[in-house]
């Protein structure tokens, strides 16, 4: 199935993941899946959420650099 993945670019510092999740929580958005990768001082937090367009807007308003793209999702029971 096709899903939309949000990629949030964040400095690798304590509290950054908490900030991302708090923005989503305040917007009433649920996280379905996530991965995090880091390289030196920056990382990418990849998220599948229940309302990707609203999540992108909320994170952009919060000053985050975010990219939304289509991905293939496989559901495993």
Predicted confidence pLDDT, tens digits, the chain (77 residues): 899 999 999 888 899 999 999 999 999 999 999 999 988 888 999 999 999 999 999 999 999 999 999 999 888 88
pLDDT in the model for residue 39: 85
pLDDT recorded at residue 36: 93
Phi, psi of 57 (to 5 degrees): -65, -45
Task: Write out the H or E segment, with its range, that includes residue 36.
Answer: strand 31-39
Structure tokens given for 5: 């993945």
**Rounded to an integer, what distance in angstroms lies between the CA atom of residue 15 and that of residue 38?**
15
- Model pTM score: 0.86
């Amino acid at each position: 199935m096709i899903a939309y993945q949000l990629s949030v670019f964040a400095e690798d510092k304590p509290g950054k993941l908490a900030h991302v999740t708090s923005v989503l929580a305040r917007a009433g958005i649920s996280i379905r899946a996530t991965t995090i990768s880091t390289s030196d001082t920056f990382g990418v937090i990849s998220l599948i959420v229940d309302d990707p367009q609203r999540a992108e807007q909320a994170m952009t308003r919060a000053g985050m650099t975010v990219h939304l793209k289509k991905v293939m999702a496989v559901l495993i029971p």
